[in-house]
Structures are given as structure tokens and as C-alpha cells.
Structure 1
Amino acid sequence: MTTTVTRRRLLRTATAAAMLLSAGSALAFEGAELYPGEQALFDAAKKEGLVVSFDTGPTWANWAAQFKAFQKRYPGVEMVYNDLGSAATVVALDKARNRPQADTAYYFAASALDAAKAGVVTDFKPVNLEKLPEPLRHPGGQWFTIHTLNIAFLVNTKLVKNVPQSWADLLKPEYKSSIVYLDPRSTGQGQVVAFGAAFGNGGSMDDIAPGIDYLGKLTKAGNVLRTVGTTPYAQFLKGEIPIWIGYENDGLKARYVDGMGDSIAVVIPQEASAAAPYAISLVKNGPNPNAGKLWLNFIMTDEGQKIFAEGFVRPSVPGVALPASVADKMPAAPQIRPIDIAKAVAKKGEIDTGWAKAVLGQ
């Protein structure tokens, strides 16, 4: 009896060990490492088994495809996410600083600076960090830009006969009551519109006045239909907006994914445009630091950057070749200029008060 029981226990132990070995072999990614040390980091992340990613809503910036690719490459590391909004993410991190819930946090880069100032994120230098221009990253890697969103004219060609090609064109009488853009006082995109208008009218990061003056002229010309506080994407798809000064990726998504087809033109203004940096961070004392690092490294590899491009979002890492499926849809646009996010934060008050005076007469 004792011998039989012992043999059964040994058999169960051997079977369990075989299952663990089999599982271990299944939990290895295919092909060569994307960067030195990837396998070791994956092994450490598997012990944690989870990454909690704040503010990466799946419908924004092609995050759904990033999740799918990450979990395919790293089986055994689950993904949990939410969609809070940039400013709310910083508030959530601050409230939970004593018992952090998140491993990573994604936001408009201005909020990344707020998170670093609040001390809720930590140094981490992912792959390709050194390729980013200095204004697009924290020196220690407390935040770094992973993609940009660029200002473009999204034009409903069923409602607009002549598609405007420049900021100067938008001032023409034929575009009376045609233009919608987001309020720069309450939205990040609206702030980026103000910088784009400045770049296109002789201004700079240090001189925003030409952009404010231009938006005032646009209103005085009677060409602004309205300014809004939230994205008007649904209204644009319904044909309620002739011209939306918005983000390029929304226009390309409307054209190629959501059915507008040739009834929309997506135009990067000829004079200049602004690129809004969106950043991500490793949360200080997050519950799954290795899984968080694995996730951040993945989206900064050339492969991860290409996945952003597949969602019509321009990668932040210079030199990444766009996938063939989108290369012709996002042609090179050298007139796009990245925003220096630290200077943008410093200019917010000037934009708020200047815009209210020039546009609203307040």
C-alpha cells in the first residue's frame, strides 16, 4: 500500500513537473530578441503575470492592436487598462501614491510633466530613447514621447467645393461659417491648434502671438462655425462639419476605417503644422515593475512603433519605416514641427487669456 501510494505521488509530481516544463516552453516568444535582455525581462515579467496600463483606451492611437501584439509575443503576461484622460490620470496617480495601482501611465505630454513634478513616476530608459529629440523626453526617462498627433484640416468635400491647402486659404470668404476647432483653454488639442496657427503665421514656441492673432482674424472673418470642448468626431462623420481643424489621424480613420472614403480630404497646411507629443511613464513603486518595463520597451521598439503607424499615428522614434499599408496614406510632411512641451506648458496661460480676448472679446 505504502509503495503504491509513493509511486502515485511520484507519478503526480513527475506529471506536474512535465506540465510546468511544457508551460515554460510555451511562454517564450518566437524569433530573435527585439533588444538585448528581452528574454530575461520577459522571464521576470512572467513571475508578476500582469501589467496595469493607465489611460490607454483601446479605441485611441491603436492601443487595441498594441495589446494584441504584446500578449501574443509575451504569453502569460496579462494586460489591464483604463481610459481616464490625461489630467485625470495624474490625479489618480497622486491619490494612490502610497499604494500605486498602475504600472504605466499614458497622457498628453503636458500631463507627463505634471506627473514628473508630482513625483509619481520614476526613471526608466527604454529602447530607442536616445533617438528621441531632447524636447520629447525626460533626461532620466521619467516620461518619453511614443507618438505624435499632427494638426491637419479635415475637409468634408461634399460640403466644401475647394479644399483649403493653407492657413491663408482658411481666411477666404468662401469658408464662411465652415470651421470648427477645439477650445484651447480646456483641451490639449485646442492648444496644439494655437501652436500650429502660430507656426503657420511666422510665430514660434517663444512667440505664440501670431497664432492667437490668426484665430482672432478667422473669427472676425465669420469663418468659424463654432469652437467646442470635446472632440466632434461623431458630428464630423455625420456630415455636420465642413472643415475641422483637428488631428490628422482622426481624418485618416474617418476616411479609411469609418466609411467617409473620398468625401474627406486630410490636408497638412502648407506653411507649417504642429505635432503634439503623447508620452508614457513607468509609475513609481508600481505593483508589476518588470511587466511595466516589458510593456514600455515593446511599444518603443521599431515593431511597436509600426503598430502605432497602422492606426494612422506617426511614430515618435525617427527613422522607423512606415508599414506599406499606411506609407502612402501618411506621406512625409517636413512642415510639421514638434512642440517643445515644456515651453508649451509655460505658454498655456498666455494662450488662454490671449485667445479669450482675440476670439471672444473678453
Structure 2
Amino acid sequence: MITKTRRLLSVTTAMVVASTSFAFAEPSAELIAAAKKEGQLTTIALPHSWCGYGEVIAGFKKKYPEIQVNELNPDASSGDEIEAIKANKDNKGPQAPDVIDVGLSFGPSAKKESLIQPYKVATWDSIPDDAKDADGYWYGDYYGVLSFIVNTDIVKNVPKDWKDLTGSDYANSVALAGDPRSSNQAVQGVYAAGIAAGETDATKAGEAGLKLFADINKAGNFVPVIGKSASLAQGSTPIVIAWDYNGLSWRDTLKGNPPLEVVVPASGVVAGVYVQAISAYAPHPNAAKLWMEHIYSDEGQLAYLKGYCHPIRFNDLAKNNKIPKELLDALPPAAAYEKAIFPTLDDQDKGKTAITTQWDKVVGANIQ
């Protein structure tokens, strides 16, 4: 079972004619030579079934067959990854990770503890500023946005925005994919509803989100259970608020029985980001840098997209017509992501505090 908690644009339809080749900045010959001399890269917590990592790793091996990829504990959590760095500071053996893929909050904390080292990839400028450390210690690699996952066998009038969920069409239909008193995915769902209400202050956005969910509950539309693919399929929670990549995976798993639609709301599009970093104690620092160049290349970023995770360079790829049409056809419309925002850690903390401490008082739904 995967224990790692993985809970994250302005384009038009005319812009999605894909280039037939990858046109990205190549790593230097010196870096490639140094990495090949090291001969190994040690990763951790990269299950092949998540975000297209199987293809990402295969692509690296194909380009650099001289470098052996040593994959540690694919089911590790972000915390486990950080502990692996700490435990192997003086170890240059196979248990010491070179690179990590962790939740957003772990990037700044790892930097503060001097556990990671800076490196800026060739495509650095195309990574959004609000998804990277200015000094290059960590940067986002992929993200998802909060969406409505809808069983269209039951829900005929699909909701388009957060306020729609208060409507009479959705009696006993709406669930969160977690308890907002403890689940980050659920907290961010409530927070996104507050952003949709027009609030820019994080605390006020949390409070506005609570008010909307109180209205959904008063309307008789909120179902106080944790929404999952099974409850979607059974019809007990025909609308689940979850990360888009979760919904898209559920859609594939259910294979049209029942049919699901993944709707990115018209407003309040909140993104959740994962970040990459190189261990300060990496036994193979040049291989680590070459790995970073690979995953932030066009090829690596599109492999994430095949796994339904939006690559952090999505805007740049779309603007330059590098996204194959078949990839976009498997996702909600590309233009739906144009308003995606990336809350800062401070915003996340403020919103979380407001939501977790006031849910019982304002909404009053005890989620089971």
C-alpha cells in the first residue's frame, strides 16, 4: 500500500497541437560525464504507478544506461524520506538517497535543517516563482487541483462552481474526500471554496469556505462520510471533492461503470504541489543533478502528465505547443486550470487553523 501522502493555466484549445520532438535545454556534457562516472542514482518513495513515475524512471535509464537506478522504499512517506537523509549523513552506501520527492511543507523545513543542496535546472525560468525556492534548494515538480468528481449516472446537472453545490439538484450528494478536521485534502477543499468566494486573506478564506459548507449542509446536500471511489460508484456520495488526479484515476479504475466526470470549478482553483530536492549528503550529486534535468525536461514533465499529475511547467509546455492532444483529451479542459493558485505555506497554515478549529461550530457535520 502506498503510504506516501501525495495530496498537486493559461492555454486555449488552439494551442494544443503537439510538437513532434522535445526541444529542451540539454544538460552539459561535463555534467553527463560526471554522472556517468558516478554510475548510480539512488531515489526513494517513487512508486511506478504514481504520477507516471514508471515512465519517468524508464526514460532516464534509456537516456543514461551507464547509470544504475537504485530505488529505495517506493512506499515511503515524505517524513520517511527526510529521515533517510538524516540517518545516512555519513553513509555513502546504497541506503543513502540522492534525491527526494516530498510534500511542499518539507522543502523549506529541509532547507532550514541544511538537509538539501541548491541546484537550478536548465528550465528553471519556466517553473512558476510561487512553486520554487528562490535559491534553488527545492522546486515543485507536479500538482493537482481540487475538483468535483461526479457520478453522471446519478447527477445529470453537473455542478460547475462551488456555490452550485448548495442547489436543490444535489440533495444528499456532496462529500469531501476526508475529514476537514484532520485531512489536508479536505481542508484544501474547504479553503478553495473560500477562495471562490473572493477572499484573498487566508484566514478569511478558511472562514468563507466554512460558511459555504454550512450552507451546503443546511440545504441537505452534504453527506458526512469520507468520499471514495467505492462510495462514488455505489451512489452514496455521487459528488466527491478531491484532487483531480485522484478522480481521473478513479475514472480509469471504474472503466465507465459508472461514468465519472472530473470538473475543475470555475473559480477557487487551488493547487497542491509536490517538490523535488537533492540531498545535501548525496553520494552521487552529479547523477542527482542529471536526474533533476531529466524530470524538468519536456520529456519528464509530459511523463507526469500521462500519469494525470499536472507538471509544474504546464504553462510553458502549453504555450510552446508541446502537449500531445491525446494527453489533454484525457484531462479536464486545459483552460480550466488558468486560474490555478498555489497557496504559500503561511496561507496553508492560516487556512487550516481556521477550518480545523471552527468546522464543528460553523458546519456541525461529524464526518465518519
- What is the CA–CA distance in structure 2 between the aligned matches of 1:237 and 1:70, rounded to whole Å? 37
Matched, 1:125 2:115: no
Which residue among 59, 62, 65 is the counterpart of 2:49? 59
Report SS of the residue matched to 2:303: helix
Shift of the 308–213 alpha-carbon distance from structure 1 to 2, 3 Å rule, reads same
**Contact 2:22–2:298 (Cα < 8 Å) also in 1:** no
Structure-to-structure mapping, 1:251-290, within 5 angstroms: 251-256=247-252, 258-260=254-256, 263-290=259-286
Q: Indicate whether 1:342 and 2:345 are aligned.
A: yes
Post-superposition Cα deviations, 1:207-261, rounded to whole Å, max 9, x if no partner, equal 3221222223323333222353xx8345545655311101112222333465127
Q: State the TM-score, normalizing by the size of structure 2.
A: 0.80
For normalisation by structure 1, the TM-score amounts to 0.81
Q: d(CA) in 1 for partners of 2:111 and 2:360?
A: 30
Decide whether aligned partners of structure 1 residues 216 and 339 sit closer, same or farther in structure 2, where only a CA change above 3 A counts. Answer: farther
Worse-superposed segment, 320-329 or 138-147: 320-329
1:283-322: CA deviation from partner (whole Å, max 9, x where unpaired): 1111221111111111111221111111222221132132
Give the C-alpha shift of residue 159 in structure 1.
Answer: 2.5
> What is the Cα deviation at residue 267 of structure 1?
0.8
**Residue matched to 2:105:** 110
Which one-letter code corresponds to 2:340 in the other structure?
R
2:25–2:123 contact (8 Å) kept in structure 1? no
1:94-146 deviation line (CA, Å, top 9, x unaligned): 44445471111112212222322332111111122222222110011111011
CA distance in 2, matches of 1:162, 1:39: 56
Whether contact under 8 Å (1:310, 1:323) holds in the other structure is: no
In the alignment, the residues of structure 1 paired with residue 127 and residue 54 of structure 2 have an alpha-carbon distance, to the nearest angstrom, of: 24
Give, in whole Å, the separation in 2 of the partners of 1:122 and 1:306: 26
**1:76–1:271 distance in 2 versus 1, CA, 3 Å:** same
Structure showing greater radius of gyration is 1
Contact 1:110 1:341 (C-alpha < 8 Å) held by counterparts? no
Name the structure 1 match of 2:9: none
Do the aligned partners of 2:265 and 2:336 also contact (CA within 8 Å) in 1?
A: no
Could you say which residue in structure 1 is the equivalent of 2:329? 328
Range that drifts further, 298-307 or 334-343: 334-343
Mind listing any 5+ residue stretches in structure 1 that lack a counterpart? 1-30
**Which residue in the other structure is 2:8 paired with?**
none
Aligned amino acid, residue 83 of structure 1? D
Asked if 1:72 is matched to 2:75, the reply is no
C-alpha contact (below 8 Å) 2:163/2:212 kept by paired residues: no
Counterpart for residue 220 of structure 2: 222
Whether 1:310 aligns to 2:306 is yes
2:84 & 2:186 partners in 1: Cα distance? 24
Q: Which residue of 2 aligns with 1:85?
A: 77
| Runs of 4+ that moved beyond 6 A | none
Letter in 1 for 2:341: P
Change (3 A) 1:297 1:191: farther
Structure 1 residues 361 and 194: CA distance shift in structure 2, 3 A: closer
Match of residue 164 from structure 2: 169
Larger mean CA deviation between 87-96 and 339-348 belongs to: 87-96
Q: 5 Å matches for 1:294-309?
A: 294-309=290-305
1:161-216 Cα offsets, whole Å, 9 max, x none, are: 32111111111233232222122343332232133111211222533221222223
Larger relative contact order (CA 8 Å, sep ≥ 6): 2
Q: Deviations over 1:36-57 (max 9, x none)?
A: 4443322222222222222222
Q: 1:319 aligns with which of 313, 316, 321?
A: 316
Q: Pick from 162, 165, 180: which aligns with 2:175? A: 180
Once structures 1 and 2 are overlaid, which stretch shifts more, 82-91 or 232-241?
232-241
What's the % identity of the aligned pairs?
26
CA separation of 1:240 and 1:220: change in aligned 2, threshold 3 A:
closer
CA drift at 1:156 = 0.8
Change (3 A) 1:152 1:305: same
Judged with a 3 Å threshold, the aligned counterparts in structure 2 of structure 1 residues 237 and 297 are, in CA distance, closer, same or farther, namely: farther
Q: Does structure 2 retain, via aligned residues, the 8 Å contact 1:205–1:339? A: no
> Secondary structure, in 3 states, of the residue corresponding to 1:319?
helix
SS in 2 for 1:112: helix
Aligned to 1:153: 148
- The letter of the residue matching 1:218 is I
Residue type of the alignment partner of 2:291: W
